[in-house]
Amino acid sequence: MTIFVVKMVPAILLLSCLPTAWGNPLFNRATTPKASDSQVPSSESLTSPRPSGEPTCYTSSQWLVISGTSLFWPTSTDYLYGPTDNPDVDCAAQWMQYDARSSELESLGPAATSTLTELIPTSTGACTTSSHLERYYDTHTGPVTTLCDGHARALGPRETITDYYPGTGPCSTFYVPTTITTTLYHLPSASPTCELHLEGCKAVWETYKSRSLAYESSISVSIPGDTSSPLAPNRCPMTARERPEQCRSCHFLPDTATLFYWPVTTAGGDLCAQNGTTIHATPTGDGPNTAVLGDQTLVSPSAYIFFTSIYAWGNSHRAGQCGAYHENKMISVHPTSITSRRGHRNARYPIRGTAFPFNFAEFLPQTVGNYTQPLIPWPQYFGGSQCGVYDSACTLVRDDYLPFIDVPGEVTQIDAKWESCDQSWYIPAVTLVPIVDGTVSFPSPTPTGDQGAEEVRGVEEAVPQYSVGAPTPTPTASLGW
């Protein structure tokens, strides 16, 4: 594979002494409004901050001279490097030339400003509605009971909350004239139309890196316009294979996750005292229990975590991706190795919360009055993802518990490059699904928008009955940074 550098006569200048620019602005990219029926006629104007008169302009090697002002004006063929049989090499060079020239023209300042007045539709009253399943800050109108732990619980599924925008009352729509100002800059030419691809850009990046290192070691002061200094192919996509250092310090970015587990139940005793007899899952045959989920067989006592998607990203300020992007992946985990995080929040600077071991018996559905649902202990619920981080507004236990869990080390079953990634930075909130009588299926999608939620029927006054006073587990040691 040949690597080469070609230097040719500069391309013909595409600007005729830089006339006033029209079209999309190069910087401060406010979108120029499209004409429409609501547009006020004859409202467009164009003003130029430059004095009239025809400037002198010409190119000289790597420079464009405009009335005595010199601008760096690279030519794509001076920066064409990579395998000669790859069209992405030429495409990368075109974008490098365009970006470098555009940056220089931007330094001249705005070429013109364009103003346009449009009639923007505005409304008051209940013109738009949206619905969502109730959250901790919503008012619950259905049945509520208080068990002997002293915390109120909503019985039955969550209600659907309807919001009205922009307000309440009759809907009224009218138009308000709005002036939009767009700043325009000179453009060197039409932007390239070619598209860059990952595979074709790998060699381009490799050549750029080797040339950059050679150039930096050969000079003490960078000289503008020196074609020995390669332009970065910034429009070329780059992956972790070009930046393997990202995997030495990284964190996960999972989407939704589902935890399938073999339930632990209790019989007899008092729910308040938690002194019942432990009963494990019903045997499905000789040996370990099994269940089929899609094309996979689940085997007890392992728990299984399914990710709709998951990938990893470097922790540095110039971060890149570690490993590949994966969709619809399942891992098997020993149930005792699963750790929850109470009071955690995902963010660039996360609230890591406190680590606790899982107690699967806490998720067992219990019957209270006419309803059957898990009675999650208050400390676990208050620290779950469905509440604000120890937000005092979260006072009612609903049937919506989604605990955060640390990403287990077994995630390397998906991608071996993730061995060093942080397990408690950005972590999934999991939907809990028990494996009952050897059968299991993916949970139904949570209703959103106009799908609504299941209506609570047969509402009746609930009275205190049982407690959910499960022993509070002792926090485990903090798991990593």
In which band, very low, low, confident or very high, does the pLDDT at 247 lie, cut at 50, 70 and 90? confident
152/286 same-domain check? no
80: buried, middle or exposed (CB in 10 Å: 19+, 13-18, 0-12)? buried
**Position 417 in a domain:** yes
Q: What percentage of the chain carries pLDDT values higher than 90?
A: 39
- Answer with the one of 166, 185, 204 that is the final residue of a domain: 185
Verify that 180 and 260 share a domain, yes or no. no
pLDDT at 439: 78
| 256 and 181 in a common domain | no
DSSP 345: B
| Within-domain flag for 121 | yes
Question: Mean pLDDT across the chain, nearest whole number?
Answer: 77
How many CB atoms within 10 Å of residue 466? 16
- Is residue 170 domain-resident? yes
Tokens of 282: 């019903």
Q: Each residue of 390-428: pLDDT tens digit?
A: 899 999 999 999 999 999 999 999 999 999 999 999 999
Does 250 have pLDDT greater than 80? yes
Whether 164 and 277 map to the same domain: the answer is: no
Q: Lay out the sheet containing 57-60: strands in order across.
A: 57-60, 63-66, 69-72
In the chain, what are the helix, strand and coil shares in percent, each to the nearest 5?
A: 15, 30, 55
Tell me: the pLDDT tens digits for 348-395? 889 999 999 988 888 878 888 899 888 899 999 999 999 988 899 999
- Residues in a beta bridge with 258: 306, 431
Q: Which residue type, as a one-letter code, is found at position 260?
A: F
Shared domain for 320 and 429, answered yes or no, is yes
The answer to whether position 394 is within a domain reads no
Answer yes or no: is 18 within a domain: no
266 and 144 both lie in a single domain: no
Residue 29 pLDDT more than 60? no
Q: Which residue has the tokens 């004006």?
A: 73
Of 99-108, 171-180, 439-448, give the lowest mean pLDDT range: 439-448
User: Is residue 158 domain-resident?
Assistant: yes
- In 333-412, where does DSSP find H-type helix? 378-382
423 shares a domain with 320: yes
**How many structural domains is the chain composed of?**
2
269 with 181, same domain: the answer is no
Give domain status of residue 430, yes or no.
yes
User: Do 171 and 259 belong together in one domain?
Assistant: no
Q: Identify whether 162 is part of a domain.
A: yes
**Residues of the chain with pLDDT > 70: what percent?**
74
DSSP 419: T
- Output the pLDDT for position 66: 87
Domain match, 256 and 161 both? no
- pLDDT at residue 346 tops 70: yes
More confident residue, 457 or 166: 166
Instruction: Clarify whether residues 266 and 344 are in a common domain.
Output: yes
Same domain membership, residue 173 and residue 291:
no
The predicted model gives 104-112 an average pLDDT of: 89
- State how far the alpha carbon of 459 is from the alpha carbons of 141, 153, 425, in Å: 10, 14, 42
User: Which residues constitute the domain of residue 120?
Assistant: 113-185
Q: Could you say which of 185, 203, 226 is where a domain stops?
A: 185
Q: Which of 151, 185, 219 delimits the end of a domain?
A: 185
